[in-house]
Amino acid sequence: MFLSEQHIHWHDQTVKKQNREKLNGHKSFVLWFTGLSGSGKSTLANALEMKLHKCGLSTYLLDGDNIRRGLNADLSFSSSDRKENIRRVGEVAKLFVDAGCIVLTAFISPFEEERKKVRSMFHHNEFIEIYVKCPLEICEQRDPKGLYKLARIGKIKDFTGISSPYEPPQNPDIIVDTHQLTIEENVREIVSYLQQRNYILTHC
C-alpha cells in the first residue's frame, strides 16, 4: 500500500497568522513585481525592501535568479516549467504571508493566467501586483546579463520578449515606469500606495 492524498490531512496550528501579524506590528501581504528582464524588478524590489526594513517592518525578498539556484533548480525555461516555477513561488510566498511577513517577489512571471492563479492563493488585499513597465528596446539596451544579445542570435531559446511572449498585466494594482522615473521615485510611489491603503501604518 502506498501513501496517497487520502492519508494527508491539514494540521491546524495554534499560533495563527493574525498572532504573527500582531507580533510584527503590521499586516502581511505580497508585493508581486512582474516585468521584462532588464526592466528593473530586482533592483526596485531590493530598494523597496531596504526602505521597509529601515521602517522596522518584517520583510523577505524572493528573487527569480536566487530561487532558480535552489528550490527551482530542477526547472527549465519551457512554458510548462515556467508555470511550475511561478506556482512554487506562489506557495512559498503564501507561507511567508502566513508567517506575518511582507513578501516581495521579483519574477518575470510572463503569463497573465499564472499570475491570476497565484493571486487566487491569497485572501482579498493580500496580493499586490506591481507592473514594472519598461519598453523592450530599453530593456535590451540595458541588458545587464547579456541575455537579450544571446537570445537575438539564437543561443537562448524561449526568451521572454524575443522568442517567448510577455503578457502585460491587464489590471495591475500598481504600475511603475522605470524608464521615466528613478528607483527612488518608484519606491516612494509604492510606499505611498501602501500607506494610503493602510497596509503599513509607520511613517517611512
pLDDT in tens, 137-164: 999 999 888 999 999 999 999 899 999 9
What pLDDT, on the 0 to 100 scale, is given for residue 12? 77
Q: Is 37 marked within a binding site?
A: yes
Sequence-separated (6 or more) residues with CB below 8 Å from residue 137: none
* Average pLDDT rounded to a whole number, residues 104-115: 95
Q: What percent of the chain has pLDDT over 70?
A: 95
Whether the pLDDT of residue 136 is over 90: the answer is yes
Q: What percent of the chain has pLDDT over 90?
A: 79
Active-site residue, from 4, 109, 163, 192: 109
Residue with cell 492524498: 5
Q: Would residue 14 count as lying in a domain? A: no
Q: What rounded mean pLDDT belongs to the chain?
A: 92
Q: Would residue 120 count as lying in a domain? A: yes
pLDDT, tens digit (0-9, with 9 covering 90-100), for 97-109 = 999 999 999 999 9
Q: Is 146 marked within a binding site?
A: no
Q: Would residue 104 count as lying in a domain? A: yes
Q: Would residue 2 count as lying in a domain? A: no
> Hey, is 48 helix, strand or coil?
helix
Distances (CA, A) of 139 to 10, 36, 115, 148: 44, 7, 22, 9
Boundaries of domain holding 145: 23-196
What pLDDT, on the 0 to 100 scale, is given for residue 13? 81
Residue with cell 487520502: 6
pTM of the model: 0.91
Q: Is 40 marked within a binding site?
A: yes
| Of the candidates 36, 48, 41, the residue with the CA atom closest to the CA atom of residue 66 | 41
Q: Is 58 considered catalytic here? A: no
Q: Would residue 33 count as lying in a domain? A: yes
The DSSP H or E segment spanning 121 is none
CA pseudo-torsion sign 145, 150, 151, 152: positive
Q: Is 23 marked within a binding site?
A: no
For the beta carbon of residue 168, count every other beta carbon within 10 angstroms: 13
Number of domains in the chain: 1
Q: What is the CATH number of the domain that holds 172?
A: 3.40.50.300
